[in-house]
Amino acid sequence: MIQRETTTAGPPGAGPVRTCIGCRRRELAVELLRVVAVVNGIGECVLTVDTARHLPGRGAWLHPDPQCLHASLRRRAFGRALRIAGSPDTSAVVEAFEAFEDRAATATEQVAKNMSTP
């Protein structure tokens, strides 16, 4: 697991502090992704990443790290954090993390390419 510095409280005015449901470390909310449960057309709860942080309802907070995602899925933390009965559909969150990893890998390759070109 990636070691992070824990944040118990930021400097005054730094913003709210939230707890990652994967690794259980506290971070500033701007460092975490917000996940909310949305009811689909057939009455099931589907999880979605709230990038704008404006969707209604209770949110679960997660580092944008695959290890935190896997830990939260293994412990079934989404249901408890969002207070949902049963197991919610997490496929949208997994897809969002895969897309995030792809974007990060592409950006890293682009930076490496730009640095090697004189």
pLDDT score recorded for residue 44: 80
pLDDT band at 19 (very low <50, low <70, confident <90, very high): very high
Query: Quick one: average pLDDT of 103-112?
Result: 75
Q: Which CATH architecture has domain 17-116?
A: 2-Layer Sandwich (3.30)
- E-only strand ranges, the chain: 17-19, 26-28, 33-39, 45-49, 59-62
Distance CA 88, CA 104 (A): 27
pLDDT score recorded for residue 5: 53
pLDDT tens-digit series, residues 21-74: 999 999 999 999 999 998 888 878 889 999 899 999 999 999 999 999 999 999
pLDDT score recorded for residue 71: 96
Worst-scoring range by mean pLDDT, 29-33, 83-87, 106-110?
106-110
